[in-house]
Amino acid sequence: MGAASFSRTIQIICYFSSLAEKIRKYKFKDGIDFQVELVSLEDLVRGYISLLTVPHRTDFYHVFLFENCSPNHLVDFYPVNISPYTVLFLDKERVHQFDPGLKYKGRVLIFTDDFFCATGSDAKFLRGATLFNDMSGRLDIKPDKLVFKKFSDIYDAIAEESALPPDQVKYGLLKNLVHNVMLLIEREKRKQGNTAGKKGEELNYALSFRELLEKDFFKSKKVYEYAAKLNISEKKLGQSTAKVLGKSPKELIDERVLLEAKRLLIHASTSVKEIGFQLGFDEPTNFIKYFNKHTGNSPAMFREKQLSGILS
């Protein structure tokens, strides 16, 4: 083995020995009233550089309000090129990474399920809100100046209320303000054509399917299994996802399985064989064939290509 080849091998070994640490998961920090917080992005990147610039996930939701800045925020392997005065929303458990350039200006609202879902209707609203459940892939909106000012005013009100001592109405006021943020995003998404006309039965079936898929994709990859759990026909499920999301149930199942496979291949030191078992494949060769069919690369080749990009 030549010196260059040996050096490359050492790089690969060192990289994969640290991967288990790279996909960190952060929980909402203790000591914050009601598990909701508004944070300055400048303060955030200044205080947590080493944590934010590596891939990580959280057990809480994010609604970023970017001001005059243009960072390149990485979300599940895809760069989101932020333009000034943009709103970006991330579901819990999304793997994301801050731009190493750290050119962030604005604020981010973070909150947990425990904060928002005090009742069953709250949980239903959150599950049905397209800002966290739009599988079309749209994670941001670009409001006009007037609407951006409305967002900024609500964030100001959240900051003011958060600074007050706890009392009997503080939780209700904060929750209403966060609810207003979400409703304003819903309106803007509909105005920009992302969710128009997608109400009713089909939307409910599509969102219920998404919820089941998130829970069961490790063990269930057949459309008929999801249709049976939803107590509808495969045809009805297909019509619903096609109308709401523009994709078939099988396409959505494959996308979710492949997303998790890529996460594990890049951000975990687990072997290809073990990843296949984790994803519900009974034989490693079945996982390799499945991955190759959908990506054009074997899992090992995909991992090596990603590693080359990281180390180059």
Give the integer Cα–Cα distance in Å for 305 and 157. 47
Distance CA 39, CA 26 (A): 16
Cβ(205)–Cβ(226) below 8 Å: no
CA distance 259 to 7: 31
Q: DSSP code of 28? A: P
Per-residue pLDDT of the chain (312 residues; tens, 9 = 90+): 444 443 343 333 333 334 444 578 888 988 788 999 999 999 998 888 888 988 888 989 999 999 999 998 988 877 888 999 999 999 888 888 898 887 899 999 999 999 998 887 888 788 767 666 655 567 888 999 999 999 999 999 999 999 999 899 999 999 999 999 999 998 888 787 654 445 578 878 888 898 889 889 999 999 999 999 999 999 999 999 888 778 899 999 999 999 889 888 887 778 999 999 999 999 999 999 999 999 999 999 998 887 676 544
For the beta carbon of residue 181, count every other beta carbon within 10 angstroms: 21
Span(s) in the chain for CATH 1.10.10.60: 201-311
Cα(74)–Cα(267) distance, integer angstroms: 14
Closest residue by Cα to residue 223 from 189, 181, 188, 251: 251
Q: Where are the alpha helices (DSSP H) in 93-169?
A: 113-116, 120-128, 130-133, 145-162
Segment holding 226, helix H or strand E: helix 223-230
Cα separations (Å) of 287 from 219, 257, 277? 13, 10, 8
Domain 201-311 class in CATH: mainly alpha
Tokens, residue 113: 């399920």
Would you state the pLDDT for residue 36?
A: 95
Phi, psi angles (nearest 5°) of residue 202: -65, -40
Instruction: Write down the pTM of the prediction.
Output: 0.71
* Cα distance between the two ends of the chain: 20
d(CA 118, CA 133): 20
Q: Is the dihedral of CA 302, 305, 309, 312 positive or negative?
A: positive
Q: What Rg value do the Cα atoms of the chain yield, rounded? A: 21
Residues of CATH 2.60.120.280 domain(s) within the chain?
Answer: 17-191
Q: What angle do CA 139, 213, 62 make, to 5 degrees?
A: 30
Checking DSSP bridges between strand 24-26 and strand 56-58, what pairing results, if any?
parallel
Distance CA 278, CA 21 (A): 19
CA separation for the pair 259, 212 (Å, rounded): 16
Which residue type does 138 have? R
Residue 277, C-beta contacts closer than 8 angstroms, at least 6 positions apart: 284
The CATH number fitting domain 17-191, selected from 3.40.50.360, 2.60.120.280, 2.70.98.10, 2.120.10.30: 2.60.120.280
Q: What is the pLDDT of residue 130?
A: 65
Pairwise CA distance, residues 248 & 234, whole Å: 10
